[in-house]
A = this chain, B = another copy of it.
């Protein structure tokens, strides 16, 4: 079985290396907002690569909004505030402090979202959340960890915020963080039964608070859920 971790690491492409170097120069203040970058030819000579590689590297930074270019004039570090990306740099998911830190962030975003959902949910929203809650129960009764159902449950909640920014950030964090938590749970076949039932009880508490339009209780339920998720992660990692 070939898994990603068994593959020989070929390292980043030249374009990626150059992009990182330039990005570091910008982050370190060696290239200031508004400042002109060296020409493509100069960068190529500086790094000993060809011009298309430089074009690709600079293109990556343009995609991030860190750099803007004008044909004939040059490429410039974008003014502060133009960057359109937030990068979540996690070395791996084995450092407990790192995991704890990122779960704190998830907690802030998700508890805020759950609070808004409690304030704003419509009957349709509530029905959708109920549907996903029931689907997860069905999955648990079948002996499955309910991964897809867990995703859908949280997604239904964040849709009830009626705020696309919460939805997008929550999706992103879901993909990066919750997915890790769920994978850990799924990989722990022996204990998943009782632990997944805890998860469902916490989901139920979240649902109840949203149903009752009780925003503070919803916030607290979401925080409790994630606090417990962090604790459960410790259990998964011990097994």
User: A residues bordering B, Cβ < 8 Å?
Assistant: 10, 13, 15-16, 19, 52, 55-56, 59-60, 62-64, 71, 80-81, 83-89, 101-102, 104-105, 107-109, 111-113, 116, 163-166, 168-169, 172-173, 175-176, 179-180
Contacts and interface: CB of A to CB of B under 8 A. Distances in A.
A112 B107 contact: yes
Contacts of A101: 163-166
Contacts of A63: 16, 19, 60, 63-64
Contacts of A83: 172, 175-176
A208 to B, nearest CB: 22
Contacts of A52: 52, 55
Chain B CB count within 10 A is highest, among A88, A89, A108, for A108
Contacts of A180: 81
Given A56-B55, A104-B165, A84 B88 contact: yes
Contact of A166 (B84, B85, B104, B111): B104
A64 B85 CA distance: 9
Contacts of A64: 63, 85
